A = this chain, B = another copy of it.
Amino acid sequence: MSTPPTPIKQQSLADLMRALGAAARAASKVLAFAPEELKNAALSHAAAALRGSQAKILAANELDLRPAAALEMSVAQLERLRLDGARIEAMATGLEAIAALPDPIGVTLQKWKRPNQMRIRRVSVPLGVIGMIYESRPNVTADAGALCLKSGNSVILRAGSESRRSSAAIHECLVEGLIRAGLPAAAIQLVPTGDRAAVGHMLADMAEYIDVIVPRGGRKLIERVQREARVPVIGHLEGICHVYVDGTSDLEMAARIVLNSKMRRTGICGAAETLLIDAGAVQTHLRPLLAVLLNAGCEVRGDSNCLLADPRVKPATEQDWHTEYLDAIISVRVVAGLDAAIEHISRYGSQHTDCIVSEDAAAAEKFLTHVDSAIVLHNASTQFADGGEFGMGAEIGISTSKIHARGPVGVEQLTSYKYIVSGKGQIRD
């Protein structure tokens, strides 16, 4: 007697996420050994698909930006979310640039021979499956998908729900590229629901399927990741970046660097949030530096020295030194010299990117050595904190973690390695 067919249970979110995980794991085993040519072909086809789907992507973006949803977003969020023809073209060009990078997989990183004649090679391999959790920038869908593909990893993308439709339209182009190149479509998957519980599954229940989580977003996301993650994380934390200007610095250079560090783009993690001014530079530098910021439309929240120097300055609170504004706002404080600057950065910074402007080489050297940040700069804008500007082609984010990748995370940073030992029957004594 045959049993009646069991009714199909409604697929729960947990089941859905596990299915994504299993598909990603299976795809990763193909991708790990995919020839460079296929990976690059998939990227080129995806770039073509992006260009060919411009109208469709912009229509999806319009829906994400429709007033009801947009009402809840800040101007900065809207700015990051909005797409236009130029931004879509930039995404396509970005995919082509990633295709043009050297294949980071299968590279012999080191090799040596042991006294017993065993040969050891350290060879780069993919990480496996990457879980990428990000907020409202649809272009991250293209960048992250492409960087993971190039580095032989499959990826589960979880886009911010505000950018859901835009990300889905971009994701379709990536999948088209994969399929046209004959690679598994599941190499790049997008979580198809805005349910925030999906993030919880990625962080806590999918250790079997996800090798590393790359979060990219604001403080709330980061705090959630730190609280819930049971999977290794390559942390993209907030960027509370400082510029310290000392009394030896060239004022014109200091003004140029401070203005660029803060105002070139205020919404990126490498934007300066706090300006520290050496007490020895108060007479010469404070007023002009405040003026250049204020005149450019930047709100300045300063200590008592700043309040005295310019009536347009608002008073800073303790909270300001802890704040990543991502906006045209800066906090400014006078500090008692180099050691006090280092101490302030150690206390309030996020170990992301910090800069000294100084003509004193010894002071610069001390700052560069003692400030414990992923990127430290001497006489250059903090806005150079970027994989592209570093010459790494592209990046998935800037890591403030100390393990694995620190600083810009490009294709090389999305790899691991294995040791391959070749012998002729050697045994250990």
Q: List the interface of chain A (C-beta within 8 A of B).
A: 32-33, 112, 114, 118, 120, 125, 127-128, 207, 211-212, 226-227, 230, 232-234, 250, 253, 256-257, 259-261, 264, 368-370, 372-381, 383-384, 386, 389-391, 401-404, 406-407, 416-428
Q: Are B418 and A406 in contact (CB under 8 A)?
A: yes
Assess A250 versus B425: contact at CB under 8 Å? Given A212-B402, A232-B233, A420-B376: yes
Contact residues in B for A420 (Cβ distance below 8 Å): 368, 376-378
One of B230, B374, B375, B383 near A427 (C-beta < 8 A): B383
Q: Are A384 and B418 in contact (CB under 8 A)?
A: no
Contact residues in B for A227 (Cβ distance below 8 Å): 230
Chain B nearest Cβ from A384, distance in angstroms? 6
Q: Are B374 and A419 in contact (CB under 8 A)?
A: yes
Q: Would you call the interface of chain A mostly helix, strand, loop, or mixed?
A: mixed
Contact residues in B for A383 (Cβ distance below 8 Å): 427-428
Q: Are A380 and B250 in contact (CB under 8 A)?
A: no
Chain B nearest Cβ from A5, distance in angstroms? 30
Number of copies: 2
Contact residues in B for A373 (Cβ distance below 8 Å): 418
Contact residues in B for A422 (Cβ distance below 8 Å): 377-380
Chain B nearest Cβ from A121, distance in angstroms? 9
Contact residues in B for A226 (Cβ distance below 8 Å): 207, 230
Contact residues in B for A404 (Cβ distance below 8 Å): 403-404
Q: Are B427 and A381 in contact (CB under 8 A)?
A: yes
Contact residues in B for A427 (Cβ distance below 8 Å): 256-257, 259-261, 264, 380-381, 383
One of B370, B406, B419 near A375 (C-beta < 8 A): B419
- Rounded to whole angstroms, the CA-CA distance of A342 and B112 in the bound complex is 26
Contact residues in B for A370 (Cβ distance below 8 Å): 33
Chain B nearest Cβ from A414, distance in angstroms? 10
Chain B nearest Cβ from A374, distance in angstroms? 6
